[in-house]
Structure 1
Amino acid sequence: MQHAAKNENGLGSVMMLPHRLRNDFPLAVITLISGMAVFVLGPFVIYRFATGAMVHGALNLLVVLAILGAMSYAWRTGNCRWPGVFLSIVSVASATATAMLPGAVGLHWFYAALMASYLLMGVGEASVLIIAAVTALVVHGGAFTSATQMWTFVVATALVSLFAFVFRWRADAQHRQLELLATLDPLTGCSNRRAMDRELLIAVNTNARTRAPFGLAMLDLDHFKAVNDRYGHEAGDQVLVDLAELLRSHSRQEDRLFRFGGEEFVLLLPGVDEASLFTVCDKLREVIAQSLSHAEQKVTLSIGAAALRAGEDWQSWLVRADKALYAAKEAGRNRVCVAPPSADGPSSSTR
């Protein structure tokens, strides 16, 4: 039975490989470049040793082992930054060192190492690394047969670096924009559920390390369907936009607001414990009751809140807040219900 379970776990891990490559771009780049480097350098290792070029062969073998180690680390830990930096330094350093060896043709490999650096590192780090390597080659001088060849190499390297810099800078800008769009609700400008899942997990991990308190509030507009039915969906959308703006303007800078779906919102409250959770939420309820309206019709909301328990996962935390919200609706709406730390039913109060 244990052997079968291990086989199933191993098969599951293998099946997850394509998913990780599709959804983790840095890991995909590290894997692609590492695979290509090993595929290209592997035969050279054999050739160098077979022809007696022990120094060149040992250098190539060291590079292959370093590349495989960095790729393995990235896959095991999910941390791609330091493997990327390490691979870049190894690639550029090995190309530079090979170019300095007598009779070597390392300059031809330098451009491949240059491009790999801009794909694996930040543009600033890659630029510093390339400038340092080119400076070392120029000062050493052994890689060039003439001054003309040296300056041709310097100019060509500068141009290729410029093209790589622009490409990587543009790709990073587009990636940041896509990440932002993927975590924002287009109507209200609030963060969406994808961002909420990540932030709640961070809050749980922070609480586990530091015992810092966190409060969670689920907010739902009362009788929102009646607004849509009577005034139309455009009016309903405007009410949601106005609600989001009111919540943002009356929350602290460190609070995080998410649109959960429809007329439901979630507010993450760092530093708010169970003792102060009701007061914080009820102030928001009062602000909305006094300020939010459409066509002279007041719009109210109900709030269910829960303080994070020690050792609780974020899904259970969210479920408790949702149950408290349901209790607030059942108790007559326009009120705050706070889930107690025990398994008893949520407590409620209305101002």
Structure 2
Amino acid sequence: MLLKRSKEEVVLLLLCGLSIPSILPFGIVRLFQGNLILATVDLLIVLGMLCIMVFVWRTRRVRFAGIAVTVFYSLGMLAAVYVKGVSIVFWVYPTMIAAFFILRAKEALMINSVSLLCLLAILHDAMPLLDLSSVVVTLILINLFSYIFSDRTSLQHFELNQQAEKDFLTGVGNRRAFDRQLQSLCKQGEPQTDACLLILDLDHFKKINDQFGHTVGDQVLIQFCSLLRSRIRNADSFFRYGGEEFVVVAMGVDEFTAARFAEELRALVEKTELLRDYPVTVSIGVARKLAEEQGQAWFQRADAMLYAAKLSGRNAVRVAREDKA
């Protein structure tokens, strides 16, 4: 079942799950020893972790749950130190480190900083100044190193995702990025989003490769993408679907507006000299997303319009009309 969960869910579920066998035995032992206050703190932490695990498992809302886990765990740690004193101050270290696995680096650092100030208020009369200073310095270093590691890891993860979702030649989104956006736009239960697919295919591109070579063909693709990126809006997305086939996701437009937009793109490509003394044109199929329509069906309707544009002689735009009946 965990294989079907996101990595954020898995991390949160595992951290909560591991905390339960780590704390529960201490709570049971203290309960039998008559240390009711500290046993209550331990058992409340265990109960809180169980509730959060159930919440994440049922709702898959990791953002709220992550903050709740960190705050709850930090409060439990501070309560335990307040009740028991210096003897369990070592529990502060894994608590603060765990925050960086659950939250974003800045959020974890902020919560841990507040916890550290509270810890100082609790221990300032309970420990010699030198010992307290050592604890504070080591906690500051742990938070600093954890922050740097978490921040750099998040940055590298973002950069790797960006690279993995970009076409290596043209720099536009690749098919993986397109599939992800298509899935997001067609997610069940989400409000209907006005959007149109424009599938573009460079006409007779194989002839360019055969006549001028693949290096020249690659330069045509690069210039074509640069040309279109200068025209599409910030709200729109542009992807290379494969070979000489591209997709534009136009947001917030109906099929009539998308048709005009597609015609502008077609005319722009036709009048721009992408290859010297050789005409380069594009055929475009357009389809608006229908209510409750799945991504594959939406794409197939736009692709059928592209096929119709090519059958009509190429260098044309064809639009899927909605059935008003």
TM-score range with shorter-chain normalisation?
Answer: over 0.9
Task: Give the structure 2 partner of residue 158 of structure 1.
Answer: 140
Please tell me whether the aligned partners of residues 174 and 241 of structure 2 are also in contact (alpha carbons under 8 angstroms): yes
| Distance in 2 separating the partners of 1:208 and 1:68 | 29
Please say which of residues 107-116 and 267-276 is displaced more in the overlay. Answer: 267-276
Pick aligned residue for 2:3 from 3, 11, 18 = 18
Of residues 262, 265, 287, the one that matches 1:284 is 265
Counting only pairs closer than 5 Å after superposition, residues 127-142 of structure 1 correspond to structure 2 as: 127-141=109-123
Return the match for 1:75 from 34, 42, 57.
57
Mapped to 2, the partners of 1:166 and 1:173 lie a distance apart of 11
Amino acid at match of 2:3: P
Q: Which has the higher contact order (CA 8 A, sep 6+)?
A: 2
TM-score by length of 1: 0.86
Inter-CA distance 60–207: structure 2 relative to 1 (3 Å threshold): closer
How many residue pairs match? The answer is: 325
Question: 1:180-208 deviations in whole A, cap 9, x for unaligned?
Answer: 11221111111122222232344446996
**Contact 1:111 1:157 (C-alpha < 8 Å) held by counterparts:** yes
Which runs of structure 2 are paired with 1:1-351 in the superposition (5 Å)?
14=1, 17-20=2-5, 24-103=6-85, 105-141=87-123, 144-204=126-186, 209=191, 213-342=194-323
C-alpha deviation, 1:102, in angstroms: 3.9
Any conservation in 2 of the 1:242–1:292 contact (CA below 8 Å)? no
The offset of 1:41, in angstroms, is 1.0
Runs of 5+ consecutive residues of structure 1 not aligned to the other structure: 1-13, 345-351
- Shift of residue 303, structure 1, vs aligned partner: 0.4
Q: Distance in 2 between matches of 1:101 and 1:110?
A: 14
- CA drift at 1:142: 6.5
User: How far off is 1:247 after superposition?
Assistant: 0.8
Q: Which amino acid aligns with 1:162?
A: L
| Paired amino acid for 1:197 | D
Q: 1:137 touches 1:143 (CA, 8 Å); kept in 2?
A: no
8 Å Cα contact 2:38/2:84 also seen in 1: no
Are the counterparts in 2 of residues 185 and 191 from structure 1 also a CA contact under 8 Å? yes
The separation in 2 between residues aligned to 1:153 and 1:164, in whole angstroms, is: 16
TM-score by length of 2: 0.93
Distance apart, 1:310 and its partner CA: 2.7
CA RMSD after TM alignment:
2.2
Q: Which runs of 4+ in 1 moved over 3 A?
A: 201-208
Report % sequence identity. 34
> Given the superposition, is the C-alpha separation of residues 207 and 129 from structure 1 closer, same or farther in structure 2, using an over 3 Å criterion?
closer
SS of the aligned residue for 2:149 comes to helix
Give the secondary structure class of the aligned counterpart of 2:87: coil
Secondary structure class of the residue paired with 1:329: helix
5+ residue gaps, structure 2: none
**Alignment-mate amino acid for residue 328 of structure 1:** A
1:258 is displaced (CA, Å) by 1.0
